[in-house]
Amino acid sequence: MTSLAKKISELFTKDIEIVEVKPKPYSNPYLTGIGLGLVLLLSFVIMGRGLGASGAMSSLVAFGVQTISPEHATSNEFYKEYIGDGTTNPLKDWLVFEVLGVLVGGFVSGALAGRIKKRVEKGPKISKSKRLLFAFLGGSMMGFGAKLARGCTSGQALTGGALLNLGSWIFMIMVFAGGYAFAYFMRRQWL
Amino acid sequence: MKNILSKLSLNQKLGLIAILLGLIALVAGNPFDSNEVKVNIKDIALSTVKNSDKIKPETLAEWLIEGKSDFVLIDLRNPEEFEKYTLPEAENIPLVTLPEAELYRNQKLILFADDNLRAAQGWYILKSKGFKNVYILDGGLEGWKNNVLFPRLSSNPTKEELSQFEKKKAIAKYFGGQALTDSGKVETKPEISLPASSSQQKTAGAPQPKKKKREGC
Amino acid sequence: MNAPFFKFGYFNTEISLVIAFIIGIAFGFSLERGGFGSARILAAQFYLSNMRVLKVMFSAIVTAMLGVYYLGVIGFLDLKLIYMTETYVLPQALGGLILGIGFVIGGYCPGTSVVSFATGSLDALMYILGALFGIFVFGEVYPLIANFYNSTNMGVVRLPEALHLPYGLVVFLVVVMAVGAFALAEWAEKKFAFRNPENEK
């Protein structure tokens, strides 16, 4: 009886090994970059504008503030820009739809490569909760900085960079500068 | 040569292609408009045939009253003449500065001056640069005065001319002019320069009013 | 000259939203392919062990830049109709600095955080929430910093104008700089391979 049970359990464990999808390695970065550049070019040719991401988040915030307190939203210059004259939903925005696409595209690519996994990305020397805290902190700094700079790496660095926009290049250089300068202080989180 | 090329890795080949494209860029020219253009004279000659390059003052008057905003009115005269009187919502771009003017190819451009001459010259300049939607206000400001501001009723009007004249009277009034019944010699320059002429007028470009059409990121 | 298509009225706003979605899918797909769904890889950029960020970004910039340049030169694309943000020297410099620091702390930038979240990362979710919070804070203090926000505006300025060089020459210089950066990146990755997260497992 036990040998039979053993045989059966072996069968199952074998299957599990095979079924576990090994995540594939990432693609050649240069080719990926060229692909990304072509997507950007397509956006220029079709829409006359580039990509972006932080703008969609801003629309979301504006929408949220407007829903919770319309008077507060309209009294503030910043939110007003996203709400306009109140006739269109701030979420009916090119960038919002584009970011929704990013969600889908990212998911599809990850699924095809076996990289979908609930996880917390972090270095070996830091705890999960600390990492989550840093993620939130980093995100807020990024949100604030992106608004100051009128864009983020997708909008300013990529789009503006390709168009040789002076402000975008200044921005891009400062992003790298900031990252490298501060990397030392964050080494325990990543290394 | 082939040997060297085949020994390069994919990445190195890509880098080489990039540098090559960059080198060509050194001599390929300026992607923005330059002052030297290649003119297709046949196309230009052809586009005059159907008179589709002209706009009648009456038509323009109707558009303005209807509030259409899909066109840009360009006054090609010099600034002093522009200040004295111009068409409602017109932009002043003296003919001599037309080649450098910030005009967008996706807009309807209507050129005018005192009569057709300068407008035709401007028309040719823009057509040479490849603009497709350029029009001449037929008769220029003279035509505008005679047909819109001070429409004249002939001495023996037909019934149709009479009814049309009523409409012309209303239009004339709208623009600050006055209908004439017959000989009325119009010498008095219409001081009625719509003050609107000198003001803003950045309607150029996105017709959408400030509806929060941010294109930023 | 009939591109950008949208600016010439080839289709309306509703369709442009659909196009936005499709372009977004391509964008997200490329980002994930490049490994940008992983904060560890993104952050490794700043420790010189994994230079994907630089490689992908500059390859993309060079590709699009060359594309825009050549399509403009042959008269297919009207560069004047492509939207460009104005240059605000100080706010953009400071914003970039803050964003860079936020990048190495949080491990993402907005686009990559969305991609990472799409593949199941919880820290990406926290990052996005943080970003929304940061934007909200910005909105609230906006009246106080509005003056700074609008300062040092140079209008729309491109590198060729700023450097007083022909457009084509700047294109060439950017290509050379990028290829040089790639060579350095390859060297750095070899040297710091021991801490490259991609080399694990």
| pLDDT at position B75 | 94
Q: Where are the alpha helices (DSSP H) in C34-158?
A: 39-44, 52-73, 89-106, 110-118, 122-149
Residue B103 included in any domain: yes
CB contact under 8 A, A83 and B212: yes
Name all chains with 3 or more CB-CB pairs below 8 Å to chain B: A, C
- Residue (of A177, A139, A58, A184) closest to C93 by Cα position: A177
Structural domain that includes position B180: 150-191
**Does A183 contact C47 at a Cβ distance shorter than 8 Å?**
yes
- Give yes or no: residues B161 and B129 share one domain: no
pLDDT reading at C81 higher than 90: no
Question: Are residues B48 and B137 both part of a single domain?
Answer: yes
Asked if B128 and B54 sit in the same domain, the reply is: yes
Nearest residue of B to residue A147, measured between CA atoms: B217
Residues B109 and B156 in one domain: no
* A149 chain-C contacts, CB cut-off 8 A: 91-92, 94-96, 99
Q: In chain C, whose CA is at the least distance from the CA of A45?
A: C4
C106 contacts A139? CB cut-off 8 A: yes
Inter-chain CB pairs, A–B, below 8 Å:
47
**Residue B31's closest chain A neighbor by CA?**
A163
B45 and B85, same structural domain?
Answer: yes
Residue B119 lies in a domain: yes
Asked if C12 reaches chain B (Cβ–Cβ under 8 Å), the answer is: no
Q: What is the distance between the alpha carbons of residues B117 and B138, in angstroms, rounded to a whole number?
A: 10
| CB-based contact, C78 to chain B, within 8 Å | yes
Q: Residue C40 is encoded by which pair of tokens?
A: 């560890």
Q: Quote the distance between the C-alpha of residue A97 and its chain's center.
A: 14
CB-based contact (8 Å) between B205 and chain C? no
Rounded to two decimals, the pTM is: 0.81
Residue B22 has pLDDT above 70, yes or no: yes
Q: How far apart are CA C77 and CA B214, in angstroms?
A: 22
Distance, in Å, from the CA atom of B121 to the CA atom of B139, rounded to the nearest integer, reads: 14
**Residue pair C44/C196 in contact by the 8 Å Cβ criterion:** yes
Q: What pLDDT is attached to residue A10?
A: 65
> In chain C, which among 138-157 make CB contacts under 8 A with chain B?
none
Selection from C46, C49, B1, C127 nearest residue A143 by Cα: C127
Per the structure, the count of domains in chain B is: 2
Mean pLDDT throughout C140-156?
90
> Which helix (H) or strand (E) covers residue C13, if one does?
helix C13-33
| Contact (CB<8Å) B211/A87 | yes
Rg (CA), chain A: 23
pLDDT tens, position by position, B169-214: 888 888 888 877 655 444 444 444 443 433 333 333 333 333 334 5
Q: Note whether residue B164 is domain-resident.
A: yes
C112 by Cβ neighbours in 10 Å (0-12 / 13-18 / 19+) ranks as buried
In chain C, residues with a C-beta closer than 8 Å to the C-beta of A138 are 101-108, 127, 130
Instruction: Give all chains having 3 or more CB-to-CB distances under 8 Å with chain A.
Output: B, C
**Residue B97 and residue B65 share a domain:** yes
SS (H, E, C) chain B: CHHHHHHCCHHHHHHHHHHHHHHHHHHHCCCCCCCCCCCCHHHHHHCCCCCCCEECHHHHHHHHHHCCCCEEEEECCCHHHHHHCCCCCEEECCHHHHHHCCCCCCCEEEEECCCHHHHHHHHHHHHHCCCCCEEEECCHHHHHHHHHHCCECCCCCCHHHHHHHHHHHHHHHHCCCCCECCCCCCCCCCCCCCHHHCCCCCCCCCCCCCCCCCCCC
Return d(Cα C21, Cα A104) in angstroms, integer.
9
3-class secondary structure, C106? helix
- Chain A positions in Cβ-Cβ contact with residue B11 (cut-off 8 Å): 28, 30
| Core vs surface per residue A127-141: b (16+ CB within 10 A) or e | eeeebbbbbbbbbbb
Which one of B10, B13, B32 makes the best mutation probe of the C interface by having the most chain C beta carbons within 10 Å?
Answer: B32
Q: Helix (H, G, I), strand (E, B), or coil: what is residue C158?
A: strand
- For residue B216, being part of any structural domain is answered with no
Q: Is pLDDT of B99 > 50?
A: yes
Say yes or no: B187 and B120 in one domain.
no
Q: What is the mean pLDDT of residues A159-188?
A: 93
Which of A171, A182, A191 to probe by mutation at the C interface, max C CB count within 10 Å? A171
Return the closest-CA partner of residue C46 out of A179, B126, B113, A86. Answer: A179
CA distances from A119 to A128, C19, C120, C121, C140 (A): 10, 32, 6, 5, 33
In order of B11, B144, C95, C185, the CA distances from A153 in angstroms are: 24, 53, 11, 19
Interchain pair B217, A54: CB under 8 A = yes
Encode pLDDT of C90-145 as tens digits. Answer: 999 999 999 999 999 999 999 999 999 999 999 999 999 999 999 999 999 998 99
Q: Chain C contact for A62, CB < 8 A?
A: yes
Q: What percent of chain B has pLDDT over 90?
A: 24
| ipTM exceeds 0.90, yes or no | yes
In this prediction, residue A18 has a pLDDT band, given cuts at 50, 70 and 90, of very low
pLDDT in tens, A82-111: 887 777 788 888 999 999 999 999 999 999
